[in-house]
């Protein structure tokens, strides 16, 4: 048999090529035990889901790793990139820790079933992978609870207890059981997410690393977000089930025929497949929040989950993502009749501001003021510490996600200190719809204004400083083509295409789109993603169009501006008219629209500019909150309460 290593089912053999020392049941927190100093193991995942474990020596660099991958996968080095979060690994592997997942992408993406396969070579590949069925990727003290679960699952697998595929949801998910046959964990492989190559429910079509269901969350990256939500849930305040990232091997996992197999080979379903996946404790429950009236939900539980959702900018808190467990001897309305368990945090921490989705916004509990304990918890939140912790625990996380975390945590802290309730804060973060037009949220309007003020200040300081001719020429060129973005790391430039702020993701989008164009050869369907004006122009537009927020109700938004909205296969530039008004609250209308509009970019700022931006942001918040208290907010609140009293 000539195996194809592009397919995860061949992982076992690929791993054997590189493993020299792996032989434990699972490695979990034994990260560096038994390894000579400088030795690390990494898991390289190809863009079609194949997972390859590689032992690194002190002398290894990105080139030598790719050389070894070339041998195993038959992929030319110059046509592939090795990435780790924001970093495209060019040379040294500093910062790549033991058990880190890396992504190997082909620079020229071919997505058709005729994709040349990455084929393994060599007879030694026939050896077995010696690593355990479950390997924990990174592990802090917080994963102690989950380690026992991992052990129980491994034992059950060895005893032949089969996992059960989960039928609900859009992505592939599996209940793993203990030796008594009880479900104890839910495992969601990253290459089975919606749109990912091995999605078992028909939602395929993208490679790992490309924009996904939400364009600001890349395919294959929901797993580490699930872990981030758990790690940020200090003191188990919101009740997020313990979650870790694992490399897990089992034959139950799904591999789509035709995606990973050249020459129409058929996947042997009895063969074990290795995947990178989130592994979450299974919580026995009675129903989810969509099945039941909300009156039995304790105020504190709703508040705690809401606070978490705001911090992590959750774009997917629909009622199905709140499990409900009935408690005996509950005390009635808003009493402790039920326990809420928030799940499915794969679409939190987007790389740019999106429209969040907070189901609880419509619940009366969200309009009850925060308790003293809750206010204390919020006051003690520290977004810088949170970001540092996530960088440490999940080094693959994008800086752009951390900016969203910092911004929304500051927003929560300032809003709660001002006296706003959960529903008001959630509403200020949510976009409005008028007809089919989407408008920026109040939070986004503040951000747009803060960026304008920062840009203005930069213009002044440029005017004040004597500049040499080369620099002047640089800015002239920039005005012609691109915004001036000093110190901008390329991968920070999320959201806008065209110009010097193009990022990896936008390039990927472009290559995908170009490919689609080639593929379909549709006349006139050329996607113009460059319709967003370059940043310099954008600032001018925003400054022309956005009235100063000082002393003005922030609910009176930018009167008119341009935005770029990709609509399926074409992108339209449209003019938005806005003014104050009531939120339509119609999710169904929302869902018909492309959920990809980016009104404000946080990721393209250099460090200094970002610091300045946060200062301006905080300064503007007070008037925004006052506007909310005195303006349209009250009216909306009545509407919300009137619509949601479903007891
Ligand atoms: N920790 C858990 N404990 C018990 N059941 C769970 C847990 N996590 C998920 N489930 C169950 O598995 C189902 C699918 O999980 P989940 O919603 O996370 O998957 P998904 O594919 O991301 O779904 P969606 O399409 O709604 O985003 C849930 O509806 C729930 O019934």
Pocket of ligand 1 (CB under 6 A): 166, 168-171, 173, 186, 241, 280, 282-283, 320-321, 323, 343-344, 346
In terms of Cβ atoms closer than 10 Å to its own Cβ (0-12, 13-18, 19+), residue 220 is buried
In whole angstroms, what is the distance from residue 237 CA to residue 128 CA? 43
In whole angstroms, what is the distance from residue 52 CA to residue 137 CA? 13
Of 122-126, 201-205, 238-242, 629-633, the least confident: 122-126
DSSP per-residue letters across 215-270: TTSBTT-HHHHHHHHHHHSGGGSS-PPPEEEEEEEETTS---TTTS-GGGPPP-TT
Q: What CA dihedral angle connects 132, 138, 142 and 143, to 10 degrees?
A: -10
Confidence bin at 1 (pLDDT 50/70/90)? very low
Instruction: With H, G, I as helix, E, B as strand and everything else as coil, classify residue 199.
Output: coil
Does residue 572 contact residue 594 with C-beta atoms inside 8 Å? Answer: no
What is the Å distance from ligand 1's center to 534 Cα?
A: 40
What is the Å distance from ligand 1's center to 409 Cα?
A: 26
In whole angstroms, what is the distance from residue 186 CA to residue 183 CA? 8
Which residue minimizes the CA distance to atom 27 of ligand 1? Answer: 169
Confidence bin at 489 (pLDDT 50/70/90)? very low
Place of tokens 């309009």: 367
Confidence bin at 50 (pLDDT 50/70/90)? confident
Which residue minimizes the CA distance to atom 25 of ligand 1? Answer: 169
Which residue minimizes the CA distance to atom 1 of ligand 1? Answer: 282
What is the Å distance from ligand 1's center to 173 Cα?
A: 8
In whole angstroms, what is the distance from residue 321 CA to residue 484 CA? 42
Say whether pLDDT at 354 is over 80: yes
In whole angstroms, what is the distance from residue 426 CA to residue 455 CA? 28
Say whether pLDDT at 130 is over 80: no
Which residue minimizes the CA distance to atom 8 of ligand 1? Answer: 343
Say whether pLDDT at 35 is over 90: no
Share of the chain above pLDDT 90, in %: 43
Is ipTM beyond 0.90?
A: yes
Specify the higher pLDDT residue, 387 or 28: 387
Instruction: Average the pLDDT over 214-220 and give the result.
Output: 92
Which residues face 44 on adjacent strands?
52, 102
What is the Å distance from ligand 1's center to 327 Cα?
A: 21
Nearest Cα neighbor of 567 from 620, 612, 528 is 528
pLDDT at site 215:
86
Which residue minimizes the CA distance to atom 2 of ligand 1? Answer: 282
Helix and strand tally (H, E) in the chain? 16, 18
Task: Say which residues have a Cβ less than 8 Å from residue 521's Cβ, sequence separation at least 6.
Answer: none
In whole angstroms, what is the distance from residue 387 CA to residue 142 CA? 16
In whole angstroms, what is the distance from residue 298 CA to residue 294 CA? 9
In whole angstroms, what is the distance from residue 200 CA to residue 269 CA? 13
* Closest ligand 1 atom number to CA of residue 320: 29
Does residue 278 contact residue 243 with C-beta atoms inside 8 Å? Answer: yes
In whole angstroms, what is the distance from residue 530 CA to residue 179 CA? 56
Does residue 632 contact residue 580 with C-beta atoms inside 8 Å? Answer: yes
- What tokens were used for 96? 């790549």
| Mutation to probe ligand 1, out of 344, 347, 357, 591 (largest number of atoms < 8 A from CB) | 344
What is the Å distance from ligand 1's center to 45 Cα?
A: 24
Predicted TM-score of the model (pTM):
0.72
- What tokens were used for 624? 């925004």
Mean of per-residue pLDDT scores for the chain: 72
What is the Å distance from ligand 1's center to 329 Cα?
A: 27
Specify the higher pLDDT residue, 113 or 185: 185
What is the Å distance from ligand 1's center to 176 Cα?
A: 13
Residue 538 CA neighbour count, 13 Å, CB half: 25
What is the Å distance from ligand 1's center to 285 Cα?
A: 12
In whole angstroms, what is the distance from residue 497 CA to residue 526 CA? 15
Confidence bin at 108 (pLDDT 50/70/90)? low
DSSP per-residue letters across 530-594: GGSPPHHHHHHHHHHHSPP-TTS-TTS--SEEEEEEEETTEEEEEEEE--S------HHHHHHS-
In whole angstroms, what is the distance from residue 547 CA to residue 452 CA? 11
Confidence bin at 143 (pLDDT 50/70/90)? confident
In whole angstroms, what is the distance from residue 458 CA to residue 358 CA? 36
Confidence bin at 61 (pLDDT 50/70/90)? confident
Instruction: Average the pLDDT over 141-164 and give the result.
Output: 91
Instruction: With H, G, I as helix, E, B as strand and everything else as coil, classify residue 209.
Output: coil
pLDDT at site 207:
87
What is the Å distance from ligand 1's center to 78 Cα?
A: 40
Say whether pLDDT at 244 is over 60: yes
* Closest ligand 1 atom number to CA of residue 170: 25
What is the Å distance from ligand 1's center to 222 Cα?
A: 13
Does residue 239 contact residue 218 with C-beta atoms inside 8 Å? Answer: no
- C-alpha dist (Å) from residue 252 to 164, 175, 176, 268, 503: 8, 10, 10, 11, 37
Instruction: Average the pLDDT over 570-590 and give the result.
Output: 30
Chain-centre distance for alpha carbon 643:
31
Confidence bin at 121 (pLDDT 50/70/90)? very low
* Closest ligand 1 atom number to CA of residue 171: 21
What is the Å distance from ligand 1's center to 277 Cα?
A: 14
In whole angstroms, what is the distance from residue 91 CA to residue 339 CA? 50
Which residue minimizes the CA distance to atom 26 of ligand 1? Answer: 169
- C-alpha dist (Å) from residue 573 to 5, 120, 213, 539, 563: 43, 46, 22, 17, 6
| Mutation to probe ligand 1, out of 177, 186, 243 (largest number of atoms < 8 A from CB) | 186
| Mutation to probe ligand 1, out of 145, 153, 163, 168 (largest number of atoms < 8 A from CB) | 168
């Amino acid at each position: 048999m000539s195996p194809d290593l592009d397919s995860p089912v061949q992982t076992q053999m690929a791993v054997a090529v590189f493993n020299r020392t792996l032989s434990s049941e699972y490695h979990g927190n034994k990260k560096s035990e038994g390894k000579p100093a400088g030795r690390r193991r990494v898991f390289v995942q190809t863009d079609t889901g194949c997972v390859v474990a590689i032992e690194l020596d002190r002398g290894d660099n990105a080139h030598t790793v790719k050389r070894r991958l070339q041998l195993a996968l038959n992929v030319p080095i110059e046509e592939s990139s090795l990435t780790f979060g924001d970093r495209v690994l060019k040379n040294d592997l500093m910062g790549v820790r033991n058990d880190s997942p890396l992504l190997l992408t082909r620079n020229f993406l071919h997505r058709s079933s005729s994709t040349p396969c990455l084929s393994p070579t060599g007879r030694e590949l026939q050896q077995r992978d010696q690593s355990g069925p479950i390997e924990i990727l990174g592990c802090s003290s917080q994963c102690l609870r989950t380690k026992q679960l991992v052990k129980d699952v491994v034992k059950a697998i060895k005893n032949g207890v089969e996992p059960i595929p989960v039928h609900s949801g859009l992505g592939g998910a599996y209940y793993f059981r203990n030796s008594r046959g009880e479900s104890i964990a839910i495992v969601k492989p990253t290459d089975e997410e919606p749109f990912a190559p091995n999605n078992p429910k028909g939602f395929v079509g993208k490679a790992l690393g490309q924009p996904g269901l939400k364009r600001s969350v890349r395919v294959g990256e929901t797993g580490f977000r699930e872990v981030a939500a758990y790690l940020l849930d200090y003191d188990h305040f919101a009740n997020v089930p313990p979650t870790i990232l694992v490399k897990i091997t089992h034959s139950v996992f799904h591999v789509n025929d035709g995606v990973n197999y050249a020459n129409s080979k058929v996947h042997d379903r009895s063969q074990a497949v290795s995947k990178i996946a989130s592994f979450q404790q299974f919580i026995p429950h009675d129903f989810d929040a969509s099945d039941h009236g909300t009156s039995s939900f304790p105020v504190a539980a709703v508040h705690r989950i809401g606070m978490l959702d705001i911090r992590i900018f959750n774009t997917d808190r629909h009622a199905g993502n709140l499990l409900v467990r009935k408690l005996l001897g509950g005390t009635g309305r808003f009493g402790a009749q039920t326990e809420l368990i928030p799940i499915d945090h794969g679409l939190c921490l987007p790389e740019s501001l999106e429209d969040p989705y907070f189901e609880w916004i419509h619940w009366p509990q969200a309009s009850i003021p925060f308790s003293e304990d809750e206010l204390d918890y919020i006051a003690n939140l520290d977004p810088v510490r949170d970001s540092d912790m996530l960088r440490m625990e999940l080094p693959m996380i994008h800086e752009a996600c951390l900016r969203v975390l910092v911004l929304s945590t500051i927003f929560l802290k300032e809003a709660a200190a001002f006296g706003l309730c959960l529903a008001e804060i959630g509403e200020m973060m949510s976009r409005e719809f008028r007809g089919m037009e989407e408008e920026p949220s109040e939070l986004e309007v503040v951000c747009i204004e803060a960026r304008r003020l920062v840009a203005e200040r930069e213009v002044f300081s440029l005017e004040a400083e004597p500049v040499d001719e080369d620099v002047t020429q640089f800015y002239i060129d920039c005005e012609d083509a691109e915004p001036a973005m000093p110190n901008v790391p390329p991968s920070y430039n999320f959201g806008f295409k065209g110009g010097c702020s193009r990022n990896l993701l936008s390039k990927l989008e472009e290559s995908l789109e170009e490919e689609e164009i080639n593929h379909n050869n549709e006349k006139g369907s050329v996607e113009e993603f460059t319709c967003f004006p370059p940043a310099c122009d954008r600032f001018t537009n925003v400054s022309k169009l956005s009235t100063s927020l000082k002393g003005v109700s922030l609910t009176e938004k930018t009167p008119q501006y341009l935005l770029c909205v990709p609509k399926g296969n074409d992108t339209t530039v449209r003019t938005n008219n806005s003014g104050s008004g009531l939120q339509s609250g119609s999710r169904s209308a929302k869902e018909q629209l492309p959920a990809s509009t980016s009104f404000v970019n946080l990721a393209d700022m250099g460090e200094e500019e970002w610091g300045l931006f946060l200062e301006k942001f905080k300064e503007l918040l007070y008037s925004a909150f006052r506007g909310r208290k005195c303006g349209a907010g009250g009216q909306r609140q009545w509407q919300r309460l009137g619509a949601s009293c479903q007891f």
